[in-house]
Amino acid sequence: MREELETELALVSDLLVAMAAAVRSAMRTATTALLTADRSAADAVVTGDAEVNDLRSRVEDRVYATTARQAPVASDLRALFTALHMAADLERMGDLAKHVAQIAQRSHPEPAVPTELSELFSQMGQVADQVAGKITQVLSEADSRGAAQLDHDDDAMDRLHRDLLGLLLDPSRSYSTQTAIDAALLGRFYERYADHAVNAGRQVVFLVTGKPVSG
Amino acid sequence: MREELETELALVSDLLVAMAAAVRSAMRTATTALLTADRSAADAVVTGDAEVNDLRSRVEDRVYATTARQAPVASDLRALFTALHMAADLERMGDLAKHVAQIAQRSHPEPAVPTELSELFSQMGQVADQVAGKITQVLSEADSRGAAQLDHDDDAMDRLHRDLLGLLLDPSRSYSTQTAIDAALLGRFYERYADHAVNAGRQVVFLVTGKPVSG
């Protein structure tokens, strides 16, 4: 019984690692699609989101089946519930990558982001990639140290988000309404992506150490 | 044991009803704050969101404790897991009402929405209210009929959202960048609110009938 439960927990953890890798790759590809007006990259992200959703369903089904069959004790049950939370955050990160790709799709063949904003979005993409990478690292190495930097990355994203709004509202620049709307939504998508990544990272720490992360 | 479990399930259901009522009221107040530049209404929504988050924590704690103590059978366990999903959607609806209120706060004493867009946002507020009201109704009456109209309401919201983007991008009108950004974000918040309400409604139907809603 105990061995079976360990196997189930390991399988759930593998699914979460796969989800984290998938949503990291999705946002990386979405950023490329956005900055290079690459239609096929954008299409790939939009199509690929179904896989992320499918992985989440598999996490939920396994957690449900394991709980029903094995009546796990407190710490195992807590791990299973934490996995549900993580899967929800990771699925949402996949959705956000898809939203970025959809903006790239809609403006194609024009780039959605004007040249003078592309450096900022490139940085947002890099921070998103870092923060998503830490989840995978912490999950697969069961090492909570990397997660300590998650808040730092999130602060970096918030700063970039504020810079973006400052540029958009700078009266000396003049963007079209479409550009302003797209850029504001994109800024929000990246910022939310990092937020969910930080949440997911906190949950890994909780899973690994049994202690909630403060803040 | 069975009786204790029934009591727990009823308590979880009461918490969900309280959450649904709270997030409905939050969006109603947020819409008022938005359309009348009412600062104290906006403040109340922002402050009140902590209560919604607290209700969600209580749902999670109860579901966890009940699962740990009672090792519920399949159908009860399914109901408990469904409650977790609903609580997540309802909490997100509360967040979205808060985001609407925050835009009203930031632009105060100026209204965030120009007069010519206020009718549209008033309609979005009405649809949001309808769709949130149905969750409460279905939950508290354990009657799935109202939920059948959820998709219809969601379609109405999507139409309003498209109309809004059409107006914002209409070259014969000219909105400031701040107005365009705020209106685009607000449109998204209302649309997401309705989306989560439809999800939550579907889960109630599943809870009541044991059958997933198609589509």
**pLDDT beyond 60 at B215:** no
ipTM: 0.91
Q: What is the pLDDT of residues B48-86, one digit of tens each?
A: 999 999 999 999 999 999 999 988 888 899 899 999 999
Per the confidence metrics, is the pTM higher than 0.95?
Answer: no
Among B67, B181, B185, B206, the strongest candidate for a mutation testing the A interface, having the largest count of A CBs within 10 A, is: B181
Place of tokens 């009201």: B133
- B81 vs A contacts (CB less than 8 Å): 60, 64
Angle between helices A115-141 and A2-36 (to 10 degrees): 170
Among B residues 51-110, those touching chain A with beta carbons less than 8 Å apart = 60, 64, 67-68, 71, 73-74, 77-78, 81, 84, 88
Q: What is the pLDDT of residues B146-191, one digit of tens each?
A: 666 788 888 999 999 999 999 999 989 889 999 999 999 999 999 9
8 Å CB contact between B162 and B101? no
Nearest CA in chain B to A166: B178
SS3 string, A92-135, reads HHHHHHHHHHHHHHHHCCCCCCCHHHHHHHHHHHHHHHHHHHHH
Angle between helices A74-107 and A177-209 (to 10 degrees): 160
